Chain A
Amino acid sequence: MADDRKTILDQLGASLSQLTERTPYPQFAADAATPDTLRGRGPVLFAERLTKANTVVVDTPQALGDFLARRDAKIGYCDPELASSLRPWLGADVELDLEFDRERVNEYAFGITRATSGVIETGSLILTDRDTSNRLGALAPWIHIACLDPAALHLTLADAITGLGDDPNVVFVTGHSQTADVEGILIQGVHGPGEQVCLLYDLALPEGPGDPDQ
């Protein structure tokens, strides 16, 4: 392996030394690819973009409870830090697992986790490793509910990407899981959620605890 590294870097050096000039880094704004039509601010616009991007927006815990009742979703995984805030609004017959049990993966109708922020330009939810209580809980059930404080929004994709910080895993979720592999016909819910929901509401949660080792 060490030999391969040396071979590759030596070859790279030799190859690039043939160039009479090397392309300089161009001057450009990080948000150069943000269309003017997608610029804007505020939670209302964000909610519109979420909806356009196949995400169901609910604006109160009660509305979330109503949504789950309409879906007849009775069993789900829930971030333990969110459970006490949401429990009163969910039906009495709704069972919340606070630890994701892999054996029950097909029983979970929904998963509730936190989103760290959102991107107004694209209607994306940003899930970070430190705020997501369980990656599987945010992905495996048919319905994923991301709870997001409407104050935590990035205006553009560029803002969000250049502000990723040092979290080891950040995923921008835009709508539900989907495929068009079979004859270009769009089908939702391939591996991840078939329904993506955002509870856009300030649950007055404490800041994410972060890593003890960070």
Chain B
Amino acid sequence: MKRQALDVFASGLAPEVRDAIMAGTTRVLEKRQTTLAEDYADPDSLRLLAGQVRQHALDHLDRYLPLAESRLRDNGVQVHFARSTGRALDIITGLVHASGTRVVTKSKSMASEELDLARRLADVGVEALETDLGEFVIQLDDDHPSHIVAPIIHKTRRDVAASFARHGLGDYDDDPEVITRRARRYMRKKFLEAKVTITGANFISAESGRVAIVTNEGNARFGLAGADVHIVLAGIEKVVARDRDLPLLLSLLVRSATGQRISSYVEFVSGPRSAKQPSGPREMHVVFLDSNRSKIVGGEMRQILRCIRCGACMNTCPVYRQSSGHAYRGVYPGPVGSVLGPLLKDDENFAELSDLARASTLCGACGDVCPVNIPLPDLIARVRVRSHREGTVHGKQGVPPMWSYSLLARHPMLWRLAMRLGQVLNWLPLQHLPLSAARAWSGSRTLPRWRGGRFRRWIRSRPRDQDG
């Protein structure tokens, strides 16, 4: 039996990478927990509320999306719709070419990762500079983010310093302050040179057409101070009903993502710069990306679209913490990626990525920490059911066949017999048997001694209660 791709990747992970991920995720989880405990007597009630707020917007997206479009247009924003990542890429490339610029600054945006935007713009001769420090390092290394909030969680300061040295950003120096200053010096030239800046959106209010963008570094803000054209790329699910939803959602987003109470820069952009403002975009575009979201929104896994990209589910996931984001082979790692990955671009990706749902212990931790109450364990189970129903090849890998268990569980006599015969497992060297399922299970696990059937014998031996 072939092992699951995620297992294979995780088993080859360097110990220092695993340590870095463990340290990074633990640090943020603890800070999140401390902040929530200090601030709220009942944080659970808030995340249930936030889940309802998000689900309401999604359940009425056929109303709120056109409303957001209308408000944005009223505010002087040009609105575009892209049914696929390819179409979004065409639209953005067209806008960049029309501006005449060869340099574009880009803030962190998971939707842009879906497009592989920076590489695709480079293909057409446009330098799209990633301005989030972590994303910048990823770009230098031609790597991919391994976490949606902390993209270089898998790298050490030594890795980053070596990368800077290789790319002519100074001699090797792994002091994070030196690294940050060098990035600051390099990037501000680009901020002032670029005529176009591309951001994502944390939320878009249908009520006002206001786009909320959250950063700590101020990179989105600098892009919006330096460039003439602002392009927002956002999945259609980013729309929320009202401005009054934003304080709740932002408060939970930031606490869940970093354990802060608010990020350094929370920017609300509703249109091009005002008439007397000398710096900032004169032109603003919003590109709404579908990429199968419009199908997911009414389906059995629709709650996944509530996700506000805080990363809490991956920080707490024992599988993510042992395997890293790269093991998920897609833009979205961790529990959210196990569901969203296969569903986005459903036709081509579901079968390919359906094994990710197996990469879960279903321990429930991801569901417990989600600030918008996404029932992640249930959704992961649903992906498993669907992959079984559709007989996807990847979904079966590394999964022992369950027909024999099913047969035994339905026939008590056979079950009792199996319980007795199971004693033989205590003497068999499972690791050396020519049974791939046995090898897969025992390769990384120490099985307890077989004690099957003893409970039944024990319960039979007890005197029956006269009243029972």
Contacts and interface: CB of A to CB of B under 8 A. Distances in A.
A49 to B, nearest CB: 10
B355 interface: no
A16 B297 CA distance: 7
B378 interface: no
B423 interface: no
Chain B interface residue bracket vs A: 35 or more
Interface in B212-270: 216-219, 221-222, 224-226, 236, 241, 243-244, 246-248, 250-252, 258, 261-270
Interface in B150-190: 150-152, 155-157, 160, 176-177, 179-181, 183-185, 187-188
Contacts of A157: 247, 250-251, 262
B280 A100 contact: no
B275 to A, nearest CB: 5
**Most A CB within 10 A of own CB, among B134, B224, B277:** B277
A192 interface: yes
Contacts of B160: 182
A164 B279 contact: no
Nearest to A189: B184
Contacts of B272: 168
A40 B385 CA distance: 51
B265 A173 contact: yes
Nearest to A166: B270
B217 A16 contact: no
A181 interface: yes
B59 interface: yes
Interface stretch (B19-27, B321-329, B387-395, B437-445): B19-27
Contacts of B267: 169-172
A135 interface: yes
Contacts of A167: 270, 274
Interface stretch (A18-26, A65-73, A86-94, A199-207): A18-26
A97 to B, nearest CB: 13
Contact of B243 (A11, A12, A162, A189): A162
Contacts of A191: 131, 184, 187-188, 191, 217-219, 221-222
B192 interface: yes
A74 interface: no
B295 interface: yes
A209 B279 CA distance: 17
**Most B CB within 10 A of own CB, among A30, A100, A182:** A182
Contacts of B241: 25
A123 to B, nearest CB: 8
Contact of A12 (B151, B181, B251, B294): B294
Given A16-B62, A23-B55, A25-B56, A184 B265 contact: no
B176 A211 contact: no
A181 B133 contact: yes
**Most B CB within 10 A of own CB, among A37, A140, A192:** A192
B221 A139 contact: yes
B18 interface: no
B91 interface: yes
B12 interface: no
Contact of A189 (B75, B180, B297, B298): B180
B39 A35 contact: yes
A89 B280 CA distance: 31
Interface stretch (B79-87, B402-410, B424-432): B79-87
Interface string B42-57: 0000100100110110
A8 B176 contact: no
Contacts of A22: 56, 59-60
B56 A170 contact: no
B188 A140 contact: yes
Contacts of A178: 216-217, 264
A116 interface: no
Interface stretch (A56-64, A126-134, A145-153): A126-134
A14 to B, nearest CB: 8
B66 interface: yes
B107 to A, nearest CB: 10
A117 interface: no
Given A28-B248, A135-B280, A170-B267, A23 B219 contact: no
The 10 A-B pairs of least Cβ separation, nearest first, read A192-B218, A15-B298, A33-B251, A135-B225, A35-B39, A181-B134, A22-B59, A11-B294, A190-B217, A158-B247
Interface of B: 20, 23-24, 27-28, 38-40, 46, 49, 52-53, 55-56, 58-62, 65-66, 75-76, 80-83, 87, 91, 131-134, 137, 150-152, 155-157, 160, 176-177, 179-181, 183-185, 187-188, 191-192, 208, 210, 216-219, 221-222, 224-226, 236, 241, 243-244, 246-248, 250-252, 258, 261-280, 288, 290, 294-299
Given A132-B277, A135-B273, 13 more contacts: A12-B297, A33-B247, A38-B261, A122-B262, A140-B225, A157-B262, A168-B272, A176-B264, A183-B176, A185-B157, A190-B216, A191-B191, A213-B275
19 contacts: A1-B81, A4-B83, A8-B290, A12-B61, A12-B297, A15-B296, A15-B297, A32-B247, A53-B262, A140-B222, A158-B244, A168-B75, A168-B270, A171-B267, A172-B266, A173-B265, A174-B265, A189-B181, A191-B187
